[in-house]
């Protein structure tokens, strides 16, 4: 596996190595982990990821009154976040982030891969009207080939999003390369960069199909 200390890792990529994140990811990888447990772990780990993703949000001082006296205290400045889920598995990551930032706006983008051209095709897009004024965090559990994620980011830029970050549980080296080459301006956050993609575009060692494991489907 590659980690954040690798000399080949682009500067725009951050591997979140917090012990709780790594522990929960190990539990998610195990094939015996049940659907309910997998879903709970995804929610918990995404909340911890959101902490890392938002550590540099701007603050402003405002006047408040505590039970004892008035004071100037910091709060988030400007528009709140927008979290955009790449359907369907992205919802499993988005929910945990909303636990931490419940006032965030939500968007969805749906993509499928054309079986002949293998090009991502958009079938659904719903975003807040003021997406251009918000920091947009795009979430998908897996960054495998990177083509769908790159297409989603391109579409969001076309829709006016100017501040973008991408978050996933696992990434393959190929996916990181594709995404960072297509969008060098977009910071990428992941919990692990695994060894490789196999011939079926599954991340190895990975954790299986995240959508199937989240929703109990095959």
Which residues lie closer than 8 Å to 180 by C-beta, 6 or more apart?
10, 12, 13, 188
- Its sign, for the CA torsion 194, 207, 118, 155, is negative
> Strand pairing of 120-126 and 82-86?
unpaired
- Binding residue per annotation — 148? yes
- Binding residue per annotation — 203? yes
- Binding residue per annotation — 71? no
- Binding residue per annotation — 59? no
The DSSP code sequence of 165-196 is EEEEEEE-HHHHHHHHHH-TTS-EEEEEE-SE
What is the DSSP code (8-state) at residue 218? -
The C-alpha atoms of residue 30 and residue 32 are separated, in whole angstroms, by 5
- Binding residue per annotation — 209? yes
Q: Which residue has the tokens 């979290």?
A: 83
212: closest CA among 54, 28, 77, 57?
Answer: 28
- Binding residue per annotation — 210? yes
The C-alpha atoms of residue 138 and residue 89 are separated, in whole angstroms, by 12
Q: Are 14 and 187 in contact (CB under 8 A)?
A: yes
108: closest CA among 96, 126, 91?
Answer: 126
Strand partners of residue 125: 109
- Binding residue per annotation — 144? yes
List the catalytic residues. Answer: 113, 117, 209, 212
- Binding residue per annotation — 88? yes
What is the DSSP code (8-state) at residue 58? -
- Binding residue per annotation — 11? no
User: Which residues are annotated as part of the binding site for 5-phospho-alpha-D-ribose 1-diphosphate?
Assistant: 88, 113, 140-148, 209
User: Which residues are annotated as part of the binding site for uracil?
Assistant: 203, 208-210
């Amino acid at each position: 596996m590659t980690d954040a200390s690798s000399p080949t890792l682009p500067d725009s990529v951050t591997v979140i190595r917090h012990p709780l994140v790594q522990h929960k990811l190990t539990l998610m990888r195990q094939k015996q982990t049940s659907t309910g447990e997998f879903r709970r772990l995804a929610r918990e780990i995404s909340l911890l990821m959101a902490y890392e993703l938002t550590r540099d949000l701007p603050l402003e001082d405002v006047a408040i009154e505590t039970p004892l006296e008035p004071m100037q205290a910091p709060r988030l400045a400007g528009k709140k976040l927008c979290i955009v889920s790449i359907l369907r598995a992205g919802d499993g990551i988005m929910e945990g982030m909303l636990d931490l930032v419940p006032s965030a706006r939500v968007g969805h983008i749906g993509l499928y891969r054309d079986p002949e051209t293998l090009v991502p095709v958009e079938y659904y897009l719903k975003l807040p009207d003021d997406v251009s004024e918000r920091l947009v965090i795009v979430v998908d559990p897996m960054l495998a080939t990177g083509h769908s994620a790159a297409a989603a980011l391109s579409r969001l830029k076309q829709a006016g999003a100017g501040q973008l970050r991408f978050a996933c549980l696992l990434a393959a080296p190929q996916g990181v390369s594709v995404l960072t080459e297509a969008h060098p301006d977009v910071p990428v956050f992941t919990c692990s960069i695994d060894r490789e993609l196999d011939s079926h575009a599954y991340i190895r060692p990975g954790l299986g199909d995240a959508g199937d494991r989240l929703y109990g489907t095959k």
